[in-house]
Structure 1
Amino acid sequence: MRCFNTKRKILITVSVILVFIILALICSVVICRYYISTADYSIQLEGVSSPVRVVALSDLHCREFGKGNSRLLDKIKAQSPDAIFAVGDMISNNSDISDADEMVALLCRLNEIAPTFFAPGNHELEYISRTGDDLLTKVSNAGITIVNDSYVDCNFGGQTIRIGGTMGHAFPFGRTLDEFRSSDIYKFLIEFEDTDLPTICLAHMPDTFIFNNAASYWPGVDLVISGHTHGGMIRLPFVGGLIAPMQGFFPDYDRGYFKLSSNMQMIIGSGLAGYGIVPRIFNLPEICVIDIVPKEG
């Protein structure tokens, strides 16, 4: 009888734990569908004379937070940004033209809050290749600044910051050195970092700089802002993200702040949507609120 009672207690305990885990997972999935969190950073950059606040968002994949993304817009507006960076994958590669037009409309509404800069991600480029839609021209004609292997020098309160963007790899990924040196990204980076201005590069994929010691070859790139990883999709307590593109399981670069070289800093946002049918678990949708401040000392 005592053995039976012991087994019964163990069974009840295990059942309670399983129910708790299932409820926690359900709550996490539900909350991750509706709540938008903020990840706050303070980044010191040489050459900055007064603080500049930017909001970075990525990986929306046509997701809506409220009608017309009203809750997302309100969340961003509440941060009082000086600039907004849309760092790619705002649509998906299988989106239709109406989805793309809604993306342009969202960028326009963001631009009413603060000057908005758009760096396309792999999904926008795959969408353009599949449909032939001249999406980037639509974005540009709407008054949004596109940084795609290009840059602009922008004035913020009397100081100038160089803002650029790219979607390639900053090293000879699958190419010879000569082929890399003739590529658009190489030509862009050479010109982009040839300045005394503080530089911010919007690179949708962190892969651009995290592999092959690429960061050390570009000392003139001060801050990189990326997305793409979706924060590892499923975040395990005390472990971190489960999986990320190009990095596989338990990625080192899933979200957050990273010091890639003596000069280059990187922020990876975990984005706003899941991927396909895979839900975000213990991984809230987020926007990054980045205060760029003068370097101390």
Structure 2
Amino acid sequence: MQVYFDLLITIGIVGTLLPAGVLYYSAKKRVQSWEYRHKKSIHAFVVLLLLGTITISYGSFVEPTLLVTHEQTIHIPNITHPFTIALVSDFQLGPYTKTEHVTHIVDRILLLHPDIVMLAGDQLDNTPGDIDETMYITPLSRLIDAGIPVYAIPGNHEYGIGGKRNSLDSLHFFGDMSKDAERAFKAIGIRYLTNTLVTTTIHDQEIAFFGGDSYLAEKLSFDVLKDKPQDIPTIALIHNPGAIWLATKEDIDLVLSGHTHGGQIRLPFLGPIGRLDEPIPLDWYQGLHQVDTNTQIFVTSGTGESGTRARLFNPPEVALLTVE
């Protein structure tokens, strides 16, 4: 599949750059040509073709290598002492993003000094082959060495699932490596949450964190929340924001999600190009949103790419959330 998308990128670059060169040459040198007699129109068209070349090249080879910090303040009830969360999602570790990608992210997180780090799923791309993608997560151990608590959940790719929701069998397009992922994260000291409720103390206040299993794999369950004290602030880490309509039925103040990649490619007036099957507003593909009177959702655009290695007007991000 990666070869297919790389071929499309190559075709896009050659298919815009080559005609631009031919047309410019004709308008400049071939005195008897139609292009020579219509230089202004040809020059304008050449500029458009070259803009296409630049856009494809930038979106494929430059923007995916960037990393921005998205800072957001979030107000939820009963917080007496503000704290910070570094939220990262969708590493998609595999053919395009490897150890260096994770190292870059860890370097940024360490500079931000968050109180806690949350990894919102699809850490692994789960691409068919003999390479063990879990070996790329090793730099995350530096966060543990720095004394920062790190929590992770699976996404759909760990289960080998994606695409249209017709039947569960049709969703499995790669092998299920969710257990391999869980073992690898636990081996470096990261708490791996699958429908797990954790109560912890940050700055002398109790906070409840719920880590949900994969929504697309139909493994998400909120049963453990039945035993949660009602007056404790509760933050849920759920990979797919399509699960928000289930989360609003629970006592959850804030849902943190990824999965959307922010649409991966975003165009003016059109918004996200990559769309979900789940019915959520396009505005919710990234950023903070009020779902109802009790629940907010924050969706990060993530750091990796799914399918083609392309991002446009939507660089990879580490989200630094100040909860107060």
For normalisation by structure 2, the TM-score amounts to: 0.75
The CA distance in 2 between the partners of 1:66 and 1:132, in whole Å, is 19
Listed as ranges, the gaps of 5+ residues in structure 1 are 176-182
Deviation at residue 120 of structure 1 after TM alignment: 1.1
The CA distance in 1 between the partners of 2:42 and 2:279, in whole Å, is 36
Identify the residue that residue 12 of structure 1 maps to in structure 2: 43
The CA distance in 1 between the partners of 2:65 and 2:112, in whole Å, is 19
Structure 1 contact 89–120 (Cα < 8 Å) conserved: yes
Identify the residue that residue 18 of structure 2 maps to in structure 1: none
Q: Does 1:90 align with 2:123?
A: yes
**211, 214, 219: which one pairs with 1:165?**
211
With over 3 angstroms needed to count, the CA separation of the structure-2 counterparts of 1:262 and 1:86, relative to structure 1, is: same
Identify the residue that residue 99 of structure 1 maps to in structure 2: 133
Residues 232-274 of structure 1, C-alpha deviations (whole Å, 9 max, x = no match): 0211023321123324999343111111111111111111111
Listed as ranges, the gaps of 5+ residues in structure 2 are 1-34, 162-173
The CA distance in 1 between the partners of 2:194 and 2:280, in whole Å, is 29
Q: Which range moved further: 130-139 or 81-90?
A: 130-139
Amino-acid identity (%): 26
Deviation at residue 72 of structure 1 after TM alignment: 1.6
1:217 maps to amino acid: K
Structure 1 contact 243–249 (Cα < 8 Å) conserved: no
* Rg larger in structure: 2
The CA distance in 1 between the partners of 2:56 and 2:83, in whole Å, is 38
Identify the residue that residue 255 of structure 1 maps to in structure 2: 286
Identify the residue that residue 70 of structure 1 maps to in structure 2: 103
Identify the residue that residue 195 of structure 1 maps to in structure 2: 230
Aligned length, in residue pairs: 275
With over 3 angstroms needed to count, the CA separation of the structure-2 counterparts of 1:188 and 1:97, relative to structure 1, is: farther
- Partner of 1:45: helix, strand, or coil? coil
With over 3 angstroms needed to count, the CA separation of the structure-2 counterparts of 1:239 and 1:284, relative to structure 1, is: same
Structure 1 contact 93–124 (Cα < 8 Å) conserved: yes
Identify the residue that residue 130 of structure 1 maps to in structure 2: 176
Relative contact order, CA 8 A, sep 6+: which one is greater? 1
The 5 A counterparts of 1:188-267 are 188-192=224-228, 194-209=229-244, 213-218=245-250, 220-247=251-278, 251-267=282-298
Deviation at residue 36 of structure 1 after TM alignment: 0.4
For normalisation by structure 1, the TM-score amounts to: 0.81
Q: Does 1:145 align with 2:177?
A: no
The 5 A counterparts of 1:36-55 are 36-55=67-86
Residues 15-38 of structure 1, C-alpha deviations (whole Å, 9 max, x = no match): 223322421332233322221011
- Partner of 2:285: helix, strand, or coil? coil
With over 3 angstroms needed to count, the CA separation of the structure-2 counterparts of 1:33 and 1:204, relative to structure 1, is: same
Structure 2 contact 258–302 (Cα < 8 Å) conserved: yes
Identify the residue that residue 170 of structure 2 maps to in structure 1: none
Q: Does 1:276 align with 2:319?
A: no
The CA distance in 1 between the partners of 2:281 and 2:309, in whole Å, is 16
Structure 2 contact 154–178 (Cα < 8 Å) conserved: no
